[in-house]
């Protein structure tokens, strides 16, 4: 039936359109012509995002290394961002075209060439543009009550390092992980969820002794690559790239990006950085608080070194959609499906009565599965073919069809999203079937 299947013809436009059509992602404030670089997640998108966060959390929690979690504030004290170096250094080079007034990140364009928008070459000088969003706390706006929306979650981990160390039973080496919102006033938000102004990060700061840092750096690169393999990404589209020394951030000794081959080129998906003990040293200096740890063996204090793994939830969301998007042809018609890993798919199972006359019986299965916490949908409208297409397009791995025989033989037909194979199973085996595909 199915003639070919590939995801090579995926484009950004197709993903944006599917996301809107099926309720994954909407431009924020769309009814007011939209807020640039800001997105809202609809029902399926919110669930997909939650599944991504759950799978990352589980991976961190169950791995061999000790990792504990925290949830820090979004509003950050000015002193924190002065100590971290962000207040001074966290900026992007910016240029304007003096002819059409379009603004660009200087890194994204060749200044020897004319403006890609109007074709005239009339650039301003390159200036530094601060990426942090600034606000004021309380009623009076002056320089004494400035706060910043955090541009990364990492600093809330560093400023709580001592609190966590003394209140939890952890010993170096260990990691503190966090999932949370971050904000950057990107000059040119673009490529949908790839570069946003409000986004979510999943970050791990792993604390260790200096002599073990290089080893842990390698360990974490391998672990993170393995994670992408396990969630089913096409590993021929994933690679690591070491930063050149002139690319390194102000805090970093070495950095390796995990890149994905997007339709718009190889781009960073996750950054893994050896941050040395820069952050804890800075916070020690600026706060005057001792953030050192005592080494029982060497009988001396030291400031731990840090390996960071940082990935955007939204950027991974986009990557997963690109990777899963498949078009194949069934009986001469193009079918679009999302070949999502069942753990990540927003809906795991659909219950489809063949006719509305069967709905009353079929809906009992739906309610039963819902109660058991299965992500399940019930759909009785339209032809069965149309309903299959709808489920394929949102990535549902298993559709259970309840037909006229089901009433007597207590069986349903289950259809596999990817192989299109159909088999008859007993209704009381549905839950097991779902468990099995989730544990694949």
User: Under the rule (CB under 6 A), what is the footprint of ligand ATP?
Assistant: 152, 184, 186, 195-196, 199, 201, 268-271, 310-312, 314-315
Q: CB within 8 A of 209, min separation 6: which ones? A: 172, 173, 295, 302, 304, 305
Region for 98 from its dihedrals, namely left if φ exceeds 0, alpha if ψ lies in -120 to 50, beta otherwise: alpha
- Angle separating helix axes 313-324 and 43-62, nearest 10 degrees: 110
CB of 432 to ligand ATP, least distance (A): 37
CB of 37 to ligand ATP, least distance (A): 8
DSSP structure class, residue 260 = E
Burial 289-320 (b: 16+ CB within 10 A, else e): eebbbeeeeeeeeebbbbbbbbbbbbbbbbbb
Rank residues 19 and 412 by Cβ distance to ligand ATP and give the closer one: 19
CB of 284 to ligand ATP, least distance (A): 23
325 forms beta bridges with 338
CB of 69 to ligand ATP, least distance (A): 18
Supply the Cα-derived Rg of the chain in whole angstroms.
Answer: 25
Rank residues 225 and 398 by Cβ distance to ligand ATP and give the closer one: 225
Q: Using an 8 Å Cβ cutoff, are 327 and 18 in contact?
A: no
DSSP structure class, residue 60 = H
What is the C-alpha separation between 193 and 45, in angstroms, rounded?
12
How many Å separate Cα 54 from the centre of its chain?
11
CB of 364 to ligand ATP, least distance (A): 43
CB of 55 to ligand ATP, least distance (A): 16
Rank residues 314 and 379 by Cβ distance to ligand ATP and give the closer one: 314
Rank residues 51 and 401 by Cβ distance to ligand ATP and give the closer one: 51
Rank residues 314 and 392 by Cβ distance to ligand ATP and give the closer one: 314
Nearest residue relative to ligand ATP (C-beta): 312
Rank residues 201 and 391 by Cβ distance to ligand ATP and give the closer one: 201
What is the C-alpha separation between 239 and 229, in angstroms, rounded?
11
Rank residues 165 and 307 by Cβ distance to ligand ATP and give the closer one: 307
What is the C-alpha separation between 345 and 288, in angstroms, rounded?
48
CB of 269 to ligand ATP, least distance (A): 6
CB of 171 to ligand ATP, least distance (A): 27
Rank residues 273 and 414 by Cβ distance to ligand ATP and give the closer one: 273
Q: Which residue has the tokens 């013809």?
A: 9
CB of 319 to ligand ATP, least distance (A): 9
CB of 288 to ligand ATP, least distance (A): 28
Which among 236, 179, 230 is positioned nearest to 203, based on CA atoms? 179
Farthest-apart Cα atoms in the chain, separation: 78
What is the C-alpha separation between 44 and 23, in angstroms, rounded?
6
Rank residues 131 and 374 by Cβ distance to ligand ATP and give the closer one: 131
Which among 336, 312, 313 is positioned nearest to 324, based on CA atoms? 336
Rank residues 271 and 342 by Cβ distance to ligand ATP and give the closer one: 271
- Which two structure tokens, joined as six digits, stand for 239? 């690679």
Which among 114, 311, 29, 81 is positioned nearest to 194, based on CA atoms? 311
Rank residues 271 and 395 by Cβ distance to ligand ATP and give the closer one: 271
CB of 186 to ligand ATP, least distance (A): 5
Sheet strands (E) in 25-133: 25-27, 39-41, 67-69, 75-77, 91-96, 103-105, 127-130
């Amino acid at each position: 039936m199915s003639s070919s299947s590939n995801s090579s013809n995926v484009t950004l436009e197709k993903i944006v359109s599917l996301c809107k059509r099926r309720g994954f992602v909407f431009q924020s404030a769309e009814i007011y012509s939209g807020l640039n670089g800001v997105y809202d997640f609809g029902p399926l998108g919110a669930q997909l995002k939650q599944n991504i966060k759950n799978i990352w959390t589980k991976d961190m929690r169950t791995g061999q290394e000790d990792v504990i979690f925290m949830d820090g504030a979004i509003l950050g004290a000015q002193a924190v961002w002065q100590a971290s170096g962000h207040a001074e250094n966290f900026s992007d080079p910016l240029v304007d075209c003096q002819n059409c007034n379009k603004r660009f990140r200087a890194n994204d364009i060749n200044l020897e060439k004319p403006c890609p928008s109007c074709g005239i070459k009339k650039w301003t000088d390159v200036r530094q543009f601060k990426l942090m969003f600034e606000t004021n706390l309380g009623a009076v706006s002056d320089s004494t009550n400035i706060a910043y929306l955090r541009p990364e979650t990492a600093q809330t981990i560093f400023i709580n390092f001592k609190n966590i160390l003394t209140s939890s039973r952890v010993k170096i080496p260990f990691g503190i992980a966090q999932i949370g919102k971050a904000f950057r006033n990107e000059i040119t938000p673009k490529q949908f969820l790839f570069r946003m102004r409000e986004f979510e990060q999943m970050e791990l700061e792993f604390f260790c002794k200096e002599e073990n840092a290089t080893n842990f750096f390698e360990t974490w690169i391998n672990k993170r690559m393995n994670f992408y393999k396990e969630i089913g990404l096409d590993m021929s589209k994933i690679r690591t790239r070491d930063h050149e020394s002139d690319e390194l951030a102000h805090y970093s000794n070495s950095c390796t990006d995990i890149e994905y081959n997007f339709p718009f080129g190889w781009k960073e998906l996750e950054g893994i950085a050896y941050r040395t003990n820069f952050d804890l040293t800075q916070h020690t200096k600026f706060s005057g608080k001792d953030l050192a740890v005592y080494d029982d063996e060497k009988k001396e204090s030291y400031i731990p070194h840090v390996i960071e793994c940082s990935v955007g939830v939204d950027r991974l969301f986009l990557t997963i959609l690109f990777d899963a998007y498949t078009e194949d042809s069934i009986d001469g018609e193009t079918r679009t499906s999302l070949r999502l890993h069942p753990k990540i798919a927003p809906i795991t199972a659909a219950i489809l009565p063949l006719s509305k006359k069967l709905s009353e019986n079929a809906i009992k299965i739906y309610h039963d599965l819902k109660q058991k916490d299965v992500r399940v949908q019930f759909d009785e409208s339209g032809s069965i073919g149309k309903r299959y297409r709808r489920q394929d397009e949102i990535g549902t791995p298993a559709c259970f069809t309840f037909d006229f025989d089901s009433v007597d033989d207590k069986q349903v037909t289950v259809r596999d999203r990817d192989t299109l194979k159909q088999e008859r199973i007993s209704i009381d085996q549905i839950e097991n079937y779902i468990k099995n595909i989730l544990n694949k």
